[in-house]
Homo-oligomer: A and B are copies of this chain.
Amino acid sequence: MLRVSKLTDYATVILTHIAHQPDELHAASDITQDTGVALPTVSKVLKLLAKANILISYRGSKGGYALANKPNETNVAEVITAIEGPIGMTECTTSDGTCEQESSCEIKGNWNLINRAVYTALEAVTLADMVAPVRQQAVTVGLPTVTKSNDLNVEN
Chain A residues close to B by CB (< 8 Å)? 1-4, 6, 9, 12-13, 16, 35-37, 76, 80-81, 84-91, 93-94, 100-101, 104-122, 124-125, 129-130, 132-134, 137, 139-144, 146, 148, 150-152, 154-156
Contacts and interface: CB of A to CB of B under 8 A. Distances in A.
A97 B137 CA distance: 25
A15 to B, nearest CB: 9
B116 A118 contact: no
Contacts of A89: 2-4
Contacts of A146: 113, 116-117, 120
A139 B81 CA distance: 23
Contacts of A151: 112
Contact of A154 (B1, B93, B143, B155): B93
